Amino acid sequence: DAGVIQSPRHEVTEMGQEVTLRCKPISGHDYLFWYRQTMMRGLELLIYFNNNVPIDDSGMPEDRFSAKMPNASFSTLKIQPSEPRDSAVYFCASSSTPGGTDTQYFGPGTRLTVL
Amino acid sequence: GDSVTQMEGPVTLSEEAFLTINCTYTATGYPSLFWYVQYPGEGLQLLLKATKADDKGSNKGFEATYRKETTSFHLEKGSVQVSDSAVYFCALRGGSNYQLIWGAGTKLIIKP
């Protein structure tokens, strides 16, 4: 298995632009998580899905952030408009039941820089 | 609510030294406990886990014992290598909540 795939690996954009991050979970996994990692705030859970349905989006910082999972093999995290304080590494992770969410498999991350 | 507290880093050791990274938790019920490791430029990966009191998780020479009486899950390794340099995260999952609660991470630096 190729593992969790994220694209792009690096994104540099200017303030105000729309940014879309993409994730392909491991085939057969029914949970998908989006995290943000910064030096200041550490690892933060933004949102997670179960069977393509958003379960908890309480970690989404504000309305500029949105996430979708149109099917079991693809999810997007969109920031519109982007701001410099959104600069971070964004990770996608997936896991499966009945193992539950114990073992989350992380992608390599997308490093976002907003100028 | 549930929380995880890890010792602050960075922790700097010489090769072959003994390692302990402290982790304590606050949770209701009987959480499962985990250690994840993040190597430079990579995502996190599960290192070991324990699902009930007195369980010992182990992997790659690392060990951690689930101590309910002290609400701790300290990570240990008898002889560290330069390749162990990474950031280590302690986490818990409690009850029916499918989220992991993460510690802040501890950066480990091993010098040859």
- Which candidate from B43, B44, B98 shows the least CB-CB separation from A101? B98
Q: Quick check: B93 and B99 in contact, CB under 8 A? A: yes
Asked whether the beta carbons of residue A50 and residue B100 sit closer than 8 angstroms, the reply is no
Q: Quick check: A68 and A75 in contact, CB under 8 A? A: yes
Confidence of residue A62 (pLDDT cuts 50, 70, 90): confident
Reply yes or no on whether the pLDDT at A99 is more than 80: no
Here the tokens at position A26 are 């491991």
Note the pLDDT of residue B97: 60
Reply yes or no on whether the pLDDT at A1 is more than 80: no
Contacts of B44 in chain A (CB under 8 A): 43, 91, 93, 104, 106
Reply yes or no on whether the pLDDT at A102 is more than 90: no
pLDDT in tens, A72-82: 999 999 999 99
CA dist A100 and B98 (Å) reads 7
CA dist B54 and A89 (Å) reads 35
pLDDT in tens, B50-100: 988 999 999 999 999 999 999 999 999 999 999 999 999 999 987 656 678
- Taking CA–CA distances from A103, the nearest residue in chain B reads B46
Contacts of B26 (CB under 8 A, 6+ apart): B2, B3, B4, B5, B71
- Which candidate from B43, B46, B51 shows the least CB-CB separation from A91? B43
Q: Does B66 touch chain A (CB under 8 A)?
A: no
